[in-house]
């Protein structure tokens, strides 16, 4: 009998209750969206830093190859 009363009470949500639930859901969705956006920003920063290091290392390799070529020609 207690279960029936509990179920009945839960099914009586007012419009105000529904609007409050909706606001909570939308707020959570906004928080999740912001979190995902920040994660992508951090990922983009890391990718940019890796790309910069790769180009720097490629430049060092090119310089080394130039030195080796110059030594072979002399």
Query: Nearest 5°: CA angle at 24, between 22 and 30?
Result: 105
pTM: 0.58
Q: What is the DSSP string of 37-53?
A: HHHHHHHHHHHHHHHHH
Closest CA to 45 of 37, 33, 34: 37
Per residue in 24-72, pLDDT tens?
A: 998 899 899 999 999 999 999 999 999 999 999 999 999 999 999 999 8
């Amino acid at each position: 009998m207690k279960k029936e009363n509990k179920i009945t009470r839960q099914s009586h949500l007012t419009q105000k209750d529904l609007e409050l639930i909706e606001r909570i859901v939308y707020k959570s969705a906004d928080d999740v969206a912001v979190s995902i956006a920040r994660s992508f920003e951090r990922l983009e920063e890391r990718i940019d830093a890796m790309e910069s290091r790769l180009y720097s290392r490629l430049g060092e390799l090119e310089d080394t190859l130039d030195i080796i070529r110059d030594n072979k020609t002399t």
